[in-house]
Structures are given as structure tokens and as C-alpha cells.
């Protein structure tokens, strides 16, 4: 009996030793991985290695509906030495950091329209750009009439926070004179064919154009031209001839899209479950976003080289759903088309017709 007790005790001691050694080894491995990741993240400047050209970062390809692969609408561009962000949906600023986009170098922000999902992350974006960039002037924020009210609201909401950061980090990092945004309302001629150059700097031209997102009174898309490369962002719209005109010959078109059949299935399920409010909303949104077929038609008529669907409805938690989303659009556009998710980077080198794509994470 005594031998048995000693044997059991020995087994327990060995097991405990193995557990302790394993725990220590796990800590050591974790420390090694952490140290390596920190060194790599702070030593690399992925943007600096990009060739001269126009580079598009998808920091938000989603909608207000929860989507594990997509934040709210957000697209960032590097064109030469210019750094521009279009829309500031929730989570977009953090995704830009994950993508190693130089948030502190942002030169201007552009809003397509003033729906909440396109600007509810603006406060965080402005704060991060201010602190990480050591700004000494507020960020220009371009947008439709009403952008001054939106920017002023975010400035007010973040005022108290800014005093803490200035006191903590000092004016070299958090200069109170550089915090927040400076609204730049875009005034455009009335009518469905309105277009206006709204930004020119460093060889980059940004043209705003009217789209149709009724009942939103002023909804814009944007075309970005740099050297011989061009990208168009639709904003939110149905099929729109003005978008087709503004997109003529563009290399890349990022177009919002709503699959009616898929959303209608969701509406039916919501109604059957007694969720009448959600069912009504899903019904209401059917007629103020382009369908994938509409977007493909616009891309074909404009003669763009590649079509990317972003701000896609409904949420698609798996890439397996992408083919279903695009199935009726496939025959309407001859070029490449795909459904975007967060983390994609499209690179359009100057002096080339190529469009390269990589996943940042």
C-alpha cells in the first residue's frame, strides 16, 4: 500500500512538473512571438515600398448591417504623395492602421453623403490622424451641403478628449491648433448631370459628381485621377447616367450594390418572425441602391477595366456567397469583377495598365 501511495505521488509530481514546464515554455514562446511582431510592425513601412501610381485601400466594404468581413464604408487612396480617405464608416480608421496605411499623413477626407454609416467613424479618424501625424491645422473634410454641421458636431464631441491628449502628450504631438476637421462644403450645379473638380494637389485631381440616392438630396460619387491611372467610387446610388459619364475610361470602378433576391429573402424571414420594423426597412432599401446588374451595366457602358462591388447588401459572412451575389451580373460586363472585403489593396502603377491586388491581413 505504501509503495502504491509513493507511486501515485511520483506520478502527480511528474505531471505537475510537466505542466509547469509547459506553462513556462508557452510564456517564452508567447514573448518571442510578441517581440518579433512588435519589431516587424514598427520597422516596416509598406506604403513607402509601393510603386508610383494610384493605390486603393478597402478599409470598409460593408453597410450598417453587421458583417464579420466588412466595416462601414471607407476607402483610402495613395496617389503619388497624396493620401486621401473617402467616407469614414465605423471601424475604418482601425482597419487602416491594420493595413499599415499612413493615417498620420492623410491630406483630406471626402464624404459621399451624410448617411450615418458613411461618417460615424469620422471622429476617430480625425483624432488618430491628429495625434499620429502631429497636425498643426485641422483636417479638410469635403462633402455635400451640411458637412459643416457634421464636422462641427464631431469637433464638439471630441473637444474634451483633445484637452486630455494635449495635456498628456504635449503640443509637439497633440497640438490643439491641429485637432478636428475643417469642413469644405462642395457646391455643385443643380440637376442630374452635376460635376465639379473639388481637389487638385500633387498631380492628383478629385472630381465630385452627382448620383441618385433619393431621398438624400445631395449624394456624390468621386473620380480620382493621377498621371495615367484613375479610380471611381460610386457612393450610394441606383444606376445613374452621370456616374457612367464620370467613369468613362476609368481603370477601376468601386460600385455599391444590393442583391434584391437575397434581401427579399431576408425581408420575408423577418416578416414571418414578426419583426415588422426590420421587414419594412428591408423593403424600403430595395429601390435606392444599384443591383449588381445595374453596376455591371454602368461599368460596361463606361468602358472601365475592372469592377469591384463594395458597400454590398446583404452582409455576406462567407466568400462562398459572392458567386450568388454576382450571378446575374456576370454576363453584363466583360472585365474582371469581384466582391470586396476589408483589407484588400488595389495597386495601379503609373505607366501601366495592370491592376494588382493583395490582402493586407
Catalytic center residues: 117
* C-alpha to C-alpha distance for 218 and 212, rounded to whole angstroms: 8
* C-alpha to C-alpha distance for 164 and 314, rounded to whole angstroms: 40
Strand partners, 85: 76, 109
Which are the contacts of 253, defined by CB distance < 8 A and separation ≥ 6? 231, 232, 234, 247, 295, 298, 299, 302, 304, 306, 307, 308
Instruction: From residue 99, give the alpha-carbon distance in Å to each of 50, 80, 105, 114, 226.
Output: 13, 18, 14, 26, 22
* Residue that has been written with the C-alpha cell 486621401 in this structure: 84
Is the separation of the CB atoms in 264 and 258 below 8 Å? Answer: no
Q: Count Cβ atoms within 10 A of the Cβ of residue 89 and give its class: 0-12 exposed, 13-18 middle, 19 or more buried.
A: buried
Helix (H, G, I), strand (E, B) or coil at 174: coil
Strand partners, 312: 257
* Residue that has been written with the C-alpha cell 491611372 in this structure: 229
Q: Is the peptide bond before 193 cis (omega within 30 degrees of 0)?
A: no
Q: What is the DSSP string of 316-355?
A: -SSGGGHHHHHTTTGGG--S-EEE--TTEEEEEETT----
* Residue that has been written with the C-alpha cell 438630396 in this structure: 217
Is the separation of the CB atoms in 233 and 108 below 8 Å? Answer: no
* Residue that has been written with the C-alpha cell 468613362 in this structure: 248
Sign of CA dihedral 160, 112, 360, 82: negative
Strands lying side by side in the sheet with 344-349: 181-185, 139-143, 108-110, 82-86, 74-79, 53-60, 344-349, 356-359
Amino acid at each position: 500500500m505504501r509503495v502504491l501511495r509513493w507511486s501515485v505521488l511520483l506520478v502527480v509530481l511528474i505531471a505537475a512538473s510537466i505542466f509547469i514546464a509547459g506553462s513556462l515554455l508557452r510564456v517564452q514562446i508567447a514573448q518571442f512571438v510578441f517581440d518579433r511582431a512588435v519589431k516587424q510592425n514598427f520597422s516596416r513601412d509598406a506604403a513607402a515600398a509601393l510603386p508610383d501610381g494610384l493605390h486603393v485601400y478597402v478599409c470598409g466594404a460593408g453597410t450598417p448591417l453587421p458583417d464579420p468581413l466588412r466595416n462601414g464604408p471607407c476607402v483610402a487612396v495613395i496617389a503619388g504623395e497624396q493620401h486621401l480617405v473617402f467616407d469614414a464608416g465605423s471601424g475604418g480608421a482601425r482597419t487602416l492602421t491594420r493595413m499599415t496605411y499612413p493615417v498620420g499623413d492623410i491630406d483630406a477626407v471626402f464624404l459621399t453623403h451624410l448617411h450615418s454609416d458613411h461618417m460615424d467613424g469620422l471622429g476617430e479618424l480625425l483624432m488618430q490622424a491628429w495625434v499620429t501625424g502631429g497636425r498643426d491645422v485641422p483636417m479638410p473634410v469635403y462633402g455635400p451641403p451640411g458637412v459643416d454641421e457634421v464636422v462641427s458636431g464631431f469637433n464638439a464631441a471630441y473637444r474634451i478628449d483633445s484637452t486630455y491628449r494635449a495635456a498628456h502628450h504635449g503640443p509637439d504631438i497633440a497640438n490643439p491648433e491641429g485637432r478636428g476637421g475643417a469642413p469644405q462644403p462642395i457646391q455643385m450645379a443643380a440637376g442630374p448631370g452635376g460635376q465639379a473638380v473639388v481637389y487638385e494637389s500633387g498631380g492628383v485631381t478629385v472630381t465630385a459628381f452627382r448620383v441618385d440616392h433619393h431621398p438624400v438630396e445631395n449624394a456624390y460619387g468621386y473620380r480620382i485621377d493621377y498621371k495615367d491611372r484613375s479610380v471611381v467610387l460610386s457612393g450610394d446610388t441606383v444606376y445613374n447616367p452621370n456616374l457612367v459619364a464620370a467613369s468613362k475610361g476609368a481603370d477601376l470602378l468601386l460600385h455599391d450594390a444590393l442583391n434584391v433576391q437575397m434581401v427579399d429573402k431576408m425581408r420575408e424571414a423577418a416578416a414571418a418572425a414578426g419583426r415588422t420594423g426590420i421587414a419594412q426597412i428591408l423593403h424600403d432599401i430595395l429601390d435606392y441602391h444599384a443591383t449588381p446588374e445595374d453596376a455591371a451595366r454602368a461599368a460596361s457602358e463606361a468602358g472601365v477595366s475592372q469592377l469591384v462591388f463594395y458597400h454590398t447588401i446583404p452582409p455576406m459572412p462567407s466568400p462562398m456567397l459572392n458567386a450568388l451575389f454576382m450571378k446575374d451580373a456576370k454576363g453584363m460586363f466583360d472585365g474582371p469583377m469581384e466582391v470586396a472585403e476589408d483589407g484588400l489593396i488595389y495597386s495601379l502603377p503609373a505607366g501601366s495598365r495592370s491592376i494588382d491586388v493583395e490582402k493586407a491581413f
